[in-house]
């Protein structure tokens, strides 16, 4: 049974990765400090003998007994609300946390995949964004703590690959959505759906002309798994190139939810990217991967998940009770 460590495992993407590797017969060690993660995302796995949870901050150190075949480093705040609230922790997990994960991978002779982001491109001057584009990032702006942490993470990962010969993979993740997203994390899709379900007006920052490209979580996970098992050490974009304006997206959410709320407009945050669309030519060629679930179907599944939440959960989503979890 291959053994894999997944950091940030109680988060949106981390928990879906736990599901995937459990289903494929792996022993999964899930690690999270629960600053932004939620143990409810993992509660369906807790009784399985091949699953264990470790409550730990990877920015301090990482010690893990026994052999290890793979590491997926997904520990990091991933939304503007989070990394503006905890900027130092965001920088530390991207730098110190990555260093610790790479050191563990080297000691265990494990292959490691690190989760980078489309934010390394900043507010792009090239459209769509290819992996060869170096980006347009403000290092001292409010988003710089996240953008630069991820850029440093990529540089450190590649240094371990070239200097130590470590097997490394880098995935640049574009906007992703699906069940287990936090309604209060500040990203546009859960924000719109949460507002609709609470009977609030939908808030657009800016004039709504900025664009995003949304990838359903199942497609993203498939791309990550293929990249992990590939021979590609260079960064690879994984996302859906189907681009839409935020204004159009708000109309789609209103139609989906059947609500009658109006759209209100507020000032655009500093350094908010105006365009975001992945060029996935490399993923198609190297991984044989491209999205399979269109936005209409993905939104339907995501809305069904959010509708299943209680009114209390729509307002408060941070419930972490680790008494029932095995600490190792």
DSSP track, 64-115? --S--SEEEE--S--SHHHHHHSHHHHHHIIIIIHHHHHHHHHHHT-EEEEE
Residue 269 lies in a domain: no
Q: Which residues form the domain of 17?
A: 3-181+215-241+276-293+317-324
pTM over 0.85: yes
146 labelled catalytic: yes
Residue 271 has a pLDDT of: 66
Residue 253 lies in a domain: no
21 alpha-carbon distance from chain centroid? 17
Residue 311 has a pLDDT of: 60
Between CA 198 and CA 138 the distance in angstroms is 35
Residue 43 lies in a domain: yes
Residue 199 has a pLDDT of: 86
Residue 140 lies in a domain: yes
Residue 86 has a pLDDT of: 95
Residue 26 lies in a domain: yes
276 alpha-carbon distance from chain centroid? 16
Residue 132 lies in a domain: yes
Sign of the dihedral through C-alpha 50, 54, 59, 60: negative
Residue 22 lies in a domain: yes
Say how many C-beta atoms besides its own lie within 10 A of residue 136's C-beta: 14
What pLDDT digit, counting tens, does each position of 18-55 carry? 999 999 999 999 999 999 999 999 999 999 999 999 99
Residue 262 has a pLDDT of: 85
* Residue 283 and residue 237 in contact, taking contact as beta carbons nearer than 8 Å: yes
Between CA 55 and CA 52 the distance in angstroms is 10
Helix (H, G, I), strand (E, B) or coil at 263: strand
Domain CATH for 11: 3.40.50.720
Residues (pLDDT < 70) of the chain are: 271, 310-328
Q: What is the CA radius of gyration of the chain?
A: 19
Active-site residue among 26, 83, 121, 146?
146
Say how many C-beta atoms besides its own lie within 10 A of residue 87's C-beta: 17
* Residue 202 and residue 253 in contact, taking contact as beta carbons nearer than 8 Å: yes
Residue 318 has a pLDDT of: 40
* Residue 235 and residue 171 in contact, taking contact as beta carbons nearer than 8 Å: yes
Backbone conformation region of residue 160, classed left if phi is above 0, alpha if psi is from -120 to 50, else beta: alpha
**Total of domains in the chain:** 1
Residue 203 lies in a domain: no
Instruction: Specify the pairing of strand 111-117 against strand 27-32.
Output: unpaired
């Amino acid at each position: 049974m291959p053994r894999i460590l997944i950091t940030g495992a109680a988060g949106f993407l981390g928990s879906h990765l736990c599901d995937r590797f459990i289903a494929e017969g792996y022993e999964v060690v899930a690690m999270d400090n629960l600053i932004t993660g939620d143990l409810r995302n993992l509660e369906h796995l807790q009784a399985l003998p091949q699953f264990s949870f470790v409550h730990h901050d990877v920015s301090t150190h990482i010690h893990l007994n026994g052999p290890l075949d793979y590491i997926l480093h997904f520990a990091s705040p991933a939304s503007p609300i989070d990394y503006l609230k905890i900027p130092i922790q965001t920088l530390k997990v991207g730098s110190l946390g990555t260093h610790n994960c790479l050191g563990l991978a080297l000691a265990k002779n494990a292959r490691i995949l690190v989760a980078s982001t489309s934010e390394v491109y900043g507010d792009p001057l090239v459209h769509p964004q290819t992996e060869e584009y170096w980006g347009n990032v403000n290092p001292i702006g409010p988003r710089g703590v996240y953008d630069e942490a991820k850029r440093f993470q990529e540089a450190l990962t590649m240094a371990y690959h070239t200097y130590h010969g470590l097997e490394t993979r880098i995935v640049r993740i574009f906007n992703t959505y699906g069940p287990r997203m936090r309604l209060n994390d500040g990203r546009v899709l859960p924000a719109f759906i949460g507002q609709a379900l609470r009977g609030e007006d939908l808030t657009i920052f800016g004039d709504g002309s900025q664009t995003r490209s949304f990838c359903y979580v199942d497609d993203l996970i498939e791309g990550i798994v293929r990249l992990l098992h590939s021979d590609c050490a260079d960064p690879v974009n994984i996302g859906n190139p189907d681009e839409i304006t935020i204004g159009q997206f708000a109309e789609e959410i209103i139609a989906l939810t059947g609500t009658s709320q109006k759209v209100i407009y507020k000032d655009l945050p500093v350094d908010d990217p105006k365009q975001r669309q992945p060029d996935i030519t490399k993923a198609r060629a190297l991984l044989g991967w491209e999205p399979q679930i269109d936005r209409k179907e993905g939104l339907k599944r995501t809305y069904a998940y959010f509708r299943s939440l209680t009114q209390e959960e729509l307002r408060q989503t941070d419930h972490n009770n680790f008494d029932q979890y095995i600490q190792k």
